[in-house]
Structure 1
Amino acid sequence: MPAHAEPDDARLTALLSDLRARLGEAAVQTDDAALGPHLAEARGLYRGRAAALLRPADTGEVAFAVEACARAGVPIVAHGGNTGLVGGGVPHGGVVLSLERMTRVRDIDPVSATLTVEAGAILAEVQAAADRAGMLFPLSLAAEGSCRIGGNIATNAGGTNVLAYGNARDLVLGLEVVLADGRIWNGLKGLRKNNAGYDLKHLFIGSEGTLGIVTAAVLKLFPKPLARAVAFCGLASPADALALLETVRRRVGAGLTGFEVLPRFGLEIVLRHVPGVSRPLQGTHHTYALVEVSTARPGDDPAAALEEALGEAMEAGRVEDATIGASEAQNAGLWKLRETLPEAQTREGGSIKHDVSVPLSKLPAFLEEAEAACVQAMPGLRPCAFGHFGDGNIHFNLSQPEGMEKAAFLAEWERFNRIVHDIVDRLDGSIAAEHGVGLIKRDELLHYGDPVALDLMRRLKAALDPRDLLNPGKVVALSANPPRALP
C-alpha cells in the first residue's frame, strides 16, 4: 500500500484553486490562525499538519471536495468538533474537511420519533431540537456543548445514557455518506425494519472517518422523562457497587438510566479543585456510586422506587451510606461530582488514560487486579478508575505520583498499556470502549485484535478507500509508513 507523499506545489495550487472556485474563497483557508485549532488533539498529545482547511456548506460541496482531492491524491481528515481523545482527528498532511457549516435540522417527525440532521450540528443543539418537539435525544457526554453529531456517529460515541439507550450506533436509523471517490450514498431512511441487503450504515458508524464522511443522519427520538431521582452512595468496594446495580436493576428495570462509579481519590480531587461542589456524605468510603432512575409515565415516583432499592441494599450490607437529591438542583449537584472528575484530574498532573470495558460480572476483579498491578509497577501511583459502571465501561486513569515530573510519567504510557490491557484481554474485555481506536490505540489493536477481524477491517478499508485517502493511518494502517501511534 502506498505511503502518502506531500503533493507538489503545482498540484496543490491547482487543487486549492478548483476548491475555491466551487466552495468559495472563505471556505478554503490556509492561514495558521484557521488551521491551528484543527491540527492538535484535544489533550495536546499530538500535533499534525495540513495544507488547508475546507469548510463546505452542503453535501454537494463535500462530494466535490472529496472527488477533487481523490483526483489529486490528497488525503482528507474529516472534522466535527475535534473533541476526540485518541488522536483520530489529527491530520498528517493533506487537508482537513470541517463540517461546522452543515448544521441544519432537515426534518423532525414526532409521530415516527425521528430527527434528520446534518453532521455538523452540535450535540447539545440536537438535544435541544428534540426537546422543542417534546421528545428526547438521549446521547449525552461531557463534550456535548462542542462535539458534533457527525463525529459522534463516526466514533460510535457512548456517554452516560448508554445503560438505558445504547451507544450512538443504537440511535441511528439512516445515514447520508460521501464515499472516498466523491459519490453520495443516500441511506436516509427512518425505518425501524429494513432488511433489503447489508445494513451499510453500520460500516460507517464507528469507522472514525476512514471509510466515508457522514454528512447527515436520521436519529431515533424517545419520550421525554417527566421525573427523575438521583442518589449518591458510599460503598465498601466495587463488588458492592455491582451488587447495588443488580438490586436497582431488578427493582426498577428500564427505569434505571444511569449508574456511574468513582473512587475515593476521584471524589477528593473534585472536592479539592472544582468550585461550587460539596461533600455529599459524611465520612469517606472506598467507592462511590451515582444512581439515576427516571420515568416518562405520569404519576410514577422514581424517588420512592430508588429509596426502596437503596433500603434493600443497605439491609444486605451493600451500601454504607446514601443520599437522594431532594430537587433538580440537588440532582444536578450530585451529577456534577461525577461530570467534573476528568477536569479535576488534570489538576493533579499527568494522567495515563485507558478507556476499557469488561463483562459486568468481571468488573470488580478487573479493578482490584489492575490497580494492584499498576501500583506495584510504580509505587506512589494514584489510580483513578471511574465511569460508566452500569455498561461495563471504565476510564482506568492513572495520576502521576506526587512530585514526579509529568514528562517522565507520560513516557511510561506504553508500559502501563501492557499491564492494563493484558488484564482486560484476559478477562474478555475491550481495550477501546467508547473513545475509539484513532491513532493512540492503533498499534494496541494490532497486539490484541483477532487476526481474522483485523484482516476483514483491512479488506473493508481497501475496498471502500483503495487509495487510503480518508483519515489514513487511523484504526488500521494501510500505508507503508503510518504516523507514530503513541504520544
Structure 2
Amino acid sequence: MTDSTDHLLDPLLDRLRAAVGDAHVLTDPADVAAFVVDWTGVHEGQALAVVRPGSTAEVADVVAACHATRTPVVPQGGNTGLVGGGVPDASGTQVVLSLGRMRRVRDVDPVAGTITVDAGVVLADVQAAAAHAGRLFPMSLGSEGSCTIGGNLATNAGGTAVLRYGMTRELALGLEVVLPDGRVWDGLRGLRKDNTGYDLTQLFVGSEGTLGVITGAVLRLFPETPRHATAWVAVPSVAAAVALLGIAQQHAGAHLATFEIANRQALDLVLAHLPGASDPLVAPSDWYVLVELAGAATDRGLDDALEAILGEAVEADLASDAAVAGSPAQRDALWALREGISEAQKVEGATLKHDVTLPIASLAAWAEAMGPVLECVLPGVRPVTYGHVGDGNLHYNVSAPVGGDDDLRAAAPALSAAIYDSVAAADGSISAEHGLGRTKAAAGAAYKSDVEVDLMRALKRALDPHGLMNPGVLLPE
C-alpha cells in the first residue's frame, strides 16, 4: 500500500487502529513483508494492512470493521502452511489478521484432561503447558516450534502421532470463533458428550479460515508417555513397511505411537543438508521406517515388544537391519532424520509438494506405480517420499532433476495431474493434512462430486454470504 492511496482507506484504517492500537496495524511494505509470503516461498501476495489483535474482543472489532466495509480478511497463525492458505492474494485489497499476539494459556485441567488456549499459542507451548501439569498434548509436527493451534485447527493438522491419537479434530472439544459479521460464538465447553444439535466445533475445524476466525480452543489431554522404544528400520519396499505395521500392531497394541516411512532419496537429502546428521545403518536401503512405542513410566515391556517386532520382521525378510535408540540423544538423532526431510528438500532446490492419503492396502501398489509415471512426464525427477504409513498418508514430494529447477516448474501441472488422477482412481484424497489453501482449491473441487461441492458452497454462503473470509481458499471463486 502506498501513501497516495492511504487517504482512501483512512476510515477503515482508523477503525482498525482504534481496535488494536496504532502499533499493531502494519502498512509499511517492510513491516508486512513476512506476512504476505508463505513458508514455501511459492505464494506471495499484497496486503491492504496486517492487523495484530491481542484478544478475542479485538478480533471481533477488526472483523466487524472489515464486514462493514466489505473488506476481505485472511486469518493467519504461524504462517507455516504449505498450500498458501494463510497469505493474501495479489490484489492488495485484503486485510491479514495475524493472531500471533494471542498466546495465553487460559486454563489447564489435568483431572478433566483439558487445556484451554488462545489460537495464537504455539504448538510447542501447548505441549509444554500440558507437560507442566503432568499431562500430554500428543500432536507433534515438524513445525511445532512456530505453528499455532489456530492454524492447526483451521487445517485439521495431522503429524506423527495420528496413528495413536487421531487428527486435530479428534483433539478438539470446543472452540471460540469470531464469525464473519463480527459476532462471537463461545463454544469453549470441554464436554465429552453434548448431543444438543449440530457439532459446530467440527464445522470450523478444517475450514481454513473460510467460515470464521478461531480465537480459542479447548483441547484434549492424555496421560504422559515418558518411556519410549524407538528404532530406525531398513525395509526393502512400501509393501514390506505395510506388513511390518501389522506385526507392530500385533505386538505393541495401543503402545504403538509412531510408524513413519521415508525413501532413500529423502534420507540422502537430510544427510546432505542437515548439520550433524549421520546414517545410523551401514548398508543403504530403498526404504526406512521409524517405529516408536510409547508408554507410562510403569510400562517396562516396551523394549521387549520392540525386539519382538524387529525379530519377526527380520525372520520374514521384511527388514534387513535396524538401529535401536539406546538413549534420549540417540532417539533425538533418529527423529531428526525424519523431521528434517521437509527443510532439507527446501534447501536442495525447487520442489513440488503433495500430501496424499490412500487406503493402507493400496499404498504399496500406488507408490510403486507412480515413479515410472512421473519419470515419463519429467525424466530425472526425484520422488522424495515420506509420511505416516499407519494412517495411509504419504508426502509424495518431487524434487527437480539435478540442475533442472526450471524444468520442474514447467512440468508441475502435468506432474500434479498425474498424481491426483492416480490418487482419485485409488479412492484416496489429494490432501491428507495440509489442507487445500490456494494451491489445491481448484483441484479439490474438481476431484469432489457435485453434491460435495454444492454442500460446501451452501455452508460458505450461509455463514459468509459476502465471501469475505479467506476468499479463494478451500473453494475456488
Q: How does 1:251-290 map to 2 (within 5 A)?
A: 251-290=251-290
Q: How many angstroms apart in 1 are the aligned matches of 2:476 and 2:284? A: 47
Task: Please say which of residues 317-326 and 168-177 is displaced more in the overlay.
Answer: 317-326
Q: How does 1:301-450 map to 2 (within 5 A)?
A: 301-404=301-404, 406-450=405-449
Q: How does 1:82-93 map to 2 (within 5 A)?
A: 82-92=79-89, 93=93
CA RMSD of aligned residues (A): 1.2
Secondary structure at the counterpart of residue 139 of structure 2 = coil
Q: How many angstroms apart in 1 are the aligned matches of 2:6 and 2:434? A: 36
Residue 17 of structure 1 corresponds to: 14
Residue 77 of structure 2 corresponds to: 80
**In the TM superposition, what is the alpha-carbon distance from 1:381 to its structure 2 partner?**
1.4
- AA in 2 matched with 1:263: N
Q: How many angstroms apart in 1 are the aligned matches of 2:288 and 2:15? A: 57
**In the TM superposition, what is the alpha-carbon distance from 1:411 to its structure 2 partner?**
2.1
User: Per-residue displacement from partner, 1:200-230 (whole Å, max 9, x unpaired)?
Assistant: 0111100000000000000000011020011
Q: How does 1:38-437 map to 2 (within 5 A)?
A: 38-92=35-89, 93-296=93-296, 298-404=298-404, 406-437=405-436
**In the TM superposition, what is the alpha-carbon distance from 1:149 to its structure 2 partner?**
0.6
User: Per-residue displacement from partner, 1:208-265 (whole Å, max 9, x unpaired)?
Assistant: 0000000000000001102001111111111100010000011111111011111112
Quick one: percent identity of the two aligned structures? 50
- AA in 2 matched with 1:16: L
Q: How many angstroms apart in 1 are the aligned matches of 2:321 and 2:466? A: 59
Task: Please say which of residues 22-31 and 355-364 is displaced more in the overlay.
Answer: 22-31
User: Per-residue displacement from partner, 1:253-295 (whole Å, max 9, x unpaired)?
Assistant: 1111011111112112222222212211121111111100111
Contact 1:163 1:391 in 2 (8 A): yes
Q: How many angstroms apart in 1 are the aligned matches of 2:438 and 2:104? A: 30
Secondary structure at the counterpart of residue 97 of structure 1 = strand
Secondary structure at the counterpart of residue 300 of structure 2 = coil
Q: Which structure 2 residue ranges, 5 or more long, are not aligned? A: none
Q: How many angstroms apart in 1 are the aligned matches of 2:127 and 2:408? A: 39
Q: How many angstroms apart in 1 are the aligned matches of 2:362 and 2:237? A: 14
Q: How many angstroms apart in 1 are the aligned matches of 2:137 and 2:159? A: 13
Q: How many angstroms apart in 1 are the aligned matches of 2:268 and 2:13? A: 52
Residue 464 of structure 1 corresponds to: 463
User: Per-residue displacement from partner, 1:62-91 (whole Å, max 9, x unpaired)?
Assistant: 111111110011111111111100011121
Q: TM-score, normalised by structure 2?
A: 0.96
- AA in 1 matched with 2:177: V
**In the TM superposition, what is the alpha-carbon distance from 1:299 to its structure 2 partner?**
4.1
Secondary structure at the counterpart of residue 428 of structure 1 = coil
Q: How many angstroms apart in 1 are the aligned matches of 2:202 and 2:306? A: 36
Residue 3 of structure 1 corresponds to: none
Q: How many angstroms apart in 1 are the aligned matches of 2:22 and 2:337? A: 46
- AA in 1 matched with 2:470: N
Contact 1:39 1:91 in 2 (8 A): yes
- AA in 1 matched with 2:269: I
Q: How many angstroms apart in 2 are the aligned matches of 1:253 and 1:39? A: 45
**In the TM superposition, what is the alpha-carbon distance from 1:407 to its structure 2 partner?**
2.6
Q: How many angstroms apart in 1 are the aligned matches of 2:288 and 2:61? A: 52
User: Per-residue displacement from partner, 1:323-358 (whole Å, max 9, x unpaired)?
Assistant: 211111111111111111112222332111111000
Q: How many angstroms apart in 2 are the aligned matches of 1:343 and 1:100? A: 23
Q: How many angstroms apart in 2 are the aligned matches of 1:42 and 1:187? A: 31
Contact 2:442 2:476 in 1 (8 A): no
- Segments of 4+ moved more than 4 angstroms: 8-11
Contact 2:360 2:392 in 1 (8 A): yes
- AA in 1 matched with 2:372: A
Contact 2:54 2:101 in 1 (8 A): yes
Residue 4 of structure 1 corresponds to: none
Q: How many angstroms apart in 1 are the aligned matches of 2:66 and 2:347? A: 42
Contact 1:226 1:298 in 2 (8 A): no
Q: How many angstroms apart in 1 are the aligned matches of 2:333 and 2:48? A: 45
Q: How many angstroms apart in 1 are the aligned matches of 2:447 and 2:228? A: 40
Q: How many angstroms apart in 1 are the aligned matches of 2:418 and 2:472? A: 25
Q: How many angstroms apart in 2 are the aligned matches of 1:360 and 1:287? A: 17
Contact 2:173 2:189 in 1 (8 A): yes
Q: How many angstroms apart in 2 are the aligned matches of 1:299 and 1:456? A: 47
Residue 32 of structure 1 corresponds to: 29
Secondary structure at the counterpart of residue 475 of structure 1 = coil
Q: How many angstroms apart in 1 are the aligned matches of 2:160 and 2:64? A: 38
Residues 454/204 of structure 1: CA separation in 2 closer, same or farther (3 Å cut): same
Contact 1:353 1:396 in 2 (8 A): yes
Residue 482 of structure 1 corresponds to: none
Secondary structure at the counterpart of residue 348 of structure 2 = coil
Q: How many angstroms apart in 1 are the aligned matches of 2:389 and 2:371? A: 16
Paired residues in the alignment total: 470
- AA in 1 matched with 2:11: A
Secondary structure at the counterpart of residue 175 of structure 1 = strand
**In the TM superposition, what is the alpha-carbon distance from 1:33 to its structure 2 partner?**
2.2
- AA in 1 matched with 2:253: G
Contact 2:400 2:407 in 1 (8 A): no
Residues 355/299 of structure 1: CA separation in 2 closer, same or farther (3 Å cut): closer
- AA in 1 matched with 2:363: L
**In the TM superposition, what is the alpha-carbon distance from 1:302 to its structure 2 partner?**
1.1
Q: How many angstroms apart in 1 are the aligned matches of 2:270 and 2:395? A: 16
Task: Please say which of residues 24-33 and 124-133 is displaced more in the overlay.
Answer: 24-33
Secondary structure at the counterpart of residue 185 of structure 2 = strand
